Each structure stands twice: as structure tokens, then as C-alpha cells.
């Protein structure tokens, strides 16, 4: 768990506790006050840690958020479970495969919903602070692999592009729901709509 910059890496338990406290304090501040109210000073204060200590592990605000994003991503991967592996190994029909993938994703998105929402809405996009970016890239990779393996089940065309379009589109709808209509993530409605969206788009005929 190396810090991004040349900062110290915690070796003892109390140091790990310190780092943990800072990250969780940042999470609380994000939820309570928003992204631009998050500062290194405030995070240190809320964590009950000296500002000097904080700067031993994090070079700036971005480094803290990056660690937080990384943590959430890890938690989501746990929530996702073995879906990825299962998908990659089995040979489900298109419709079912998409459904499974979306179910896993929905489960992952239910992790720390309020925090995710804040990050989604307020953190800079497209960089290491973008919670969804790594996730989307991972899914595109997966879909692409499946498509190469079973071309017969998909429409002809640019595989890279198709995978990217399908995943990006579906994810955007999920993110939009997470940000503006969280209740939609609960039922199966959205899952079914997006299954249709992606599977129809990718299917031959």
C-alpha cells in the first residue's frame, strides 16, 4: 500500500491506524461537507491526528482521495465476488452473461453508496480519483475477452469499439442512477433495461 509520492510507508500498527484514520476522516468529510471542503488540515483534525503526521503519509489532498478511492474499489471487488472469473470461464448465452455482469456490478455499486455518490459528483473525472474509471476499464477488458473467444455469438464489427460502447453506455446509466435516483439501484428494473440495451446492441441479426 505504497503512497503515491515519496512519502513514508507505515510499518508499525499504530502508523497503519493513523493512515486508516485519515482515510476514513476524509470519507466522513466528503459525505458531510463535500469535496472542496476537504483539506489536509481538516482531515488531520477530524482524524485526531497532527497535520505533520498526515504529511508523513500523504503529500496532498489528492493522495488521500486516491487512497480512499482505492479502498472503495477494493471493497467493491469483494462485493463483486467471483462474478468476473465465473463469467470468463463459463460460456453463458449473451443475454444471461450480460445479466450476470450487471448483477455483479449492481452489488458492487451498493458499497458505500453515499460516499460513492459524492465522489462521483464532485471529484475530478478521468484520473486516479475517478472511482468508476478502473472499474469500467476492467469490465471492457472482460467483455472484449469474451467477445474474442465466442465471436459467433456477437454481431460483427470492431470488437474493441463495441465492448467499449456497451460497457460505457450501461455504466453511465448506472452512475446516473446512483447519483440522482439511488432507489433505482434496488430493484431489478434497471438491471433488466440495461441487459436489453447491451445484449441487443451486441447480438447478431
Q: Which is nearer to a second copy, 88 or 189 (CB)?
A: 189
DSSP for the chain, please give it: ---SSSPPPP-SHHHHHHHHHHHHHHHHHHHHH-GGG--HHHHHHHHT--HHHHHHH-SSHHHHHHHHHHHHHHHHHHHHTTHHHHHHHS---HHHHHHHHHHHHHHHHTSSHHHHHHHHHHSPSSSTT-HHHHHHHHHHHHHHHHHHHTGGGS-SS-HHHHHHHHHHHHHHHHHHHHHH-GGGGTSSHHHHHHHHHHHHHHS--
Which of 7-15, 84-92, 110-118, 150-158 is the region at the interface with DNA (rule: CB under 7 A)?
A: 7-15
Range 123-152, binding a second copy (CB under 8 A)? 124-126
Size of the site for a second copy (CB under 8 A): 32
Binding site partner of 158, from a second copy, DNA, none, Cβ cut-off 5-8 A by kind:
a second copy
Q: Nine-digit cell at 154?
A: 456477437
Smallest distance, Å, CB 67 to DNA?
15
Binding site partner of 126, from DNA, a second copy, none, Cβ cut-off 5-8 A by kind:
a second copy
20 binds DNA (CB under 7 A): no
182 binds a second copy (CB under 8 A): no
Binding site partner of 124, from DNA, a second copy, none, Cβ cut-off 5-8 A by kind:
a second copy
From candidates 4, 20, 39, 144, binder to DNA by CB under 7 A: 39
The residues binding DNA (CB under 7 A) are 8-15, 17-18, 37, 39-42, 48-53, 55-56, 59-61
Amino acid at each position: 500500500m505504497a503512497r503515491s509520492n515519496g512519502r513514508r510507508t507505515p510499518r508499525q500498527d499504530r502508523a497503519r491506524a493513523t493512515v486508516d484514520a485519515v482515510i476514513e476522516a476524509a470519507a466522513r468529510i466528503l459525505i458531510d461537507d463535500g469535496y472542496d471542503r476537504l483539506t489536509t488540515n481538516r482531515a488531520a483534525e477530524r482524524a485526531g491526528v497532527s497535520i505533520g503526521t498526515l504529511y508523513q503519509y500523504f503529500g496532498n489532498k489528492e493522495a488521500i482521495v486516491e487512497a480512499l478511492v482505492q479502498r472503495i474499489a477494493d471493497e467493491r471487488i469483494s462485493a463483486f465476488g467471483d462474478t468476473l472469473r465465473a463469467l470468463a470461464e463459463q460460456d453463458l448465452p449473451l443475454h444471461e452473461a450480460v445479466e450476470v455482469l450487471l448483477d455483479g456490478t449492481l452489488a458492487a455499486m451498493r458499497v458505500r453508496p453515499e460516499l460513492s455518490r459524492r465522489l462521483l459528483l464532485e471529484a475530478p473525472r478521468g484520473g486516479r480519483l475517478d472511482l468508476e474509471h478502473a472499474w469500467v476499464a476492467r469490465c471492457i477488458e472482460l467483455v472484449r475477452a469474451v467477445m474474442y473467444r465466442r465471436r459467433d455469438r456477437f454481431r460483427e464489427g470492431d470488437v474493441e469499439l463495441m465492448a467499449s460502447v456497451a460497457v460505457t453506455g450501461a455504466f453511465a446509466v448506472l452512475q446516473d442512477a446512483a447519483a440522482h435516483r439511488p432507489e433505482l439501484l434496488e430493484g431489478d428494473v434497471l438491471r433488466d433495461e440495461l441487459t436489453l440495451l447491451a445484449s441487443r446492441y451486441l447480438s447478431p441479426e
